[in-house]
Structure 1
Amino acid sequence: MAATLERRETGTSLMFIGLAVWVVSLLVLFFLPAGIKVGNHLTFFTIFFGLVGVGAILMISGYRIRR
């Protein structure tokens, strides 16, 4: 029983961290217009898609562990 509870907590934690990473990626997206004015839009897109990918991996792995 304890192992099941631990797996659920670990999975939920990973999903929460993945959601937090997505919130940070939205913050990067918020500052994108300033990056376009400066000319560094490629850097912002790279960071944004990297964070979205990491968040998705954490959410999927958390869901699979929790299941």
Structure 2
Amino acid sequence: MTDRNPEKDPADWVTGDEPMTGPQESYLNTLAREAGEDAPADLTKAEASQLIEELQDATGRGGPGRS
């Protein structure tokens, strides 16, 4: 079966160097608070995505198949 929505590395995103989106910032702040960390304010979309994944792992909020 072919994965119709393969994940693309955030470093390869065309818009990855743009400022993070509002939803990214909101979710990042939620995850950071749960992890007892401070969320940086000036991240790019790609940086925010990477940090969200790290914090999801740290807080156990990762999706199925994630540790």
TM-score, normalised relative to structure 2? 0.32
* Higher Cα radius of gyration: 1
Higher relative contact order (CA 8 A, sep 6+): 1
TM-score, normalised relative to structure 1? 0.32
